[in-house]
Structure 1
């Protein structure tokens, strides 16, 4: 069962500790590493969330995965979660940490979905345009390809959505035909 409040509190505590120790960037990279490990292995997520597997076994598995790849702060933090029985929330805490880190650094995530892959030049021009229009300093551009768009793009900036796809236009035209908008205008 997700618990965003708990995840947020643990993430905030970890950020505060990393700032205090002057190792925020190091811990951030550790969290990215752990997030990738959890995303690439469904078995790891199942194991970490399993109430049947003992904490010491989970600790050994995490140590094997992170040995020499994460900082002392991160490994101590994961051991603390295991000792407190909160390892179930580790993937959620990692996501909360990354979100809070980006907020702290002023990094805004923008998602661009297109029907075909876009060039680096176009990506750069989109980022520059968003920076100018929205007065943002740092932007992280995530791109995705969705052939069902047929053409055009869908751009998500924060809670704003700009749908300039052909699929969206076709849906609007279909609605107009279903409502008989054209028949009433002809008469």
Structure 2
């Protein structure tokens, strides 16, 4: 079993349990907001991520930090879930659990995730156009955009929704032209 699949096998049941709790308590949107905040916090703080993942740090110390950081920010059930992850020595998988939870939430709400790579920042109108294209591709009720800027694209955009890819980048066009030219000279 590969390392990624081991992480998946651990993270998925916890994400499903959190979703089950959220649905049972009618707190799905609140938990979704809590999970997004946690993922943002982990992205912003390398120190926190390393602290939580460190196997030498005592569980009580991790719990104390989580309580001090999050008691006022997250629902008490979310905090209890995090403390349970510490007790079970699964807190180091928090990011993966959160991403699985978000995927479950998108599925529940019929929201597609469009991963967009562009050469430059997009304005609101451009994002709206991409959102419409992704809606057409998926038939979902809504689309969540995850936008990354990659100047190597030179210009244009690459949109990934599930297994579908639309490559409208200049780099992609140049690659297609090069392929056509190389195949025509053979």
TM-score higher than 0.5: yes
CA shift, 1:125, in A, is 2.5
Report the Cα offset of residue 159 of structure 1: 1.2
For 1:128 and 1:49, locate their aligned partners in 2 and report how far apart those are by CA, in whole Å: 39
Question: 1:71: Cα distance to partner?
Answer: 0.5
- Residue number among 73, 97, 110 corresponding to 2:101 in the alignment: 97
Aligned-pair CA distance for 1:133: 4.7
Candidates 112, 119, 140, aligned match of 1:108: 112
- Give the structure 2 partner of residue 181 of structure 1: 184
Runs of 4+ residues deviating >4 angstroms:
none
1:7 pairs, out of 6, 11, 18, with 11
Q: In 1, are the aligned partners of 2:112 and 2:138 still within 8 Å (CA)? A: no
1:52 corresponds in structure 2 to 56
Query: Following superposition of structure 1 onto structure 2, how do residues 14-93 of structure 1 map, counting pairs within 5 Å?
Result: 14-93=18-97
Taking the aligned partners of 2:94 and 2:149, their CA distance within structure 1 comes to 30
Greater mean alpha carbon deviation, residues 49-58 or residues 103-112: 103-112
Q: CA 1:12/1:180 → structure 2, altered by over 3 Å: closer, same or farther? A: closer
TM-score with structure 2 setting the length: 0.88
Unpaired stretches in structure 2, ≥5 consecutive residues = none
How many aligned positions are there? 182
TM-superposed CA distance for 1:118, in Å, is 2.5
2:174 maps to 1:170? yes
Partner-residue secondary structure (3-state), 1:164: strand
Q: If you compute each CA radius of gyration, which structure gives the higher value, 1 or 2?
A: 1
3-state SS, counterpart of residue 47 of structure 1: helix
Over the aligned positions, Cα root-mean-square deviation in angstroms equals 1.9
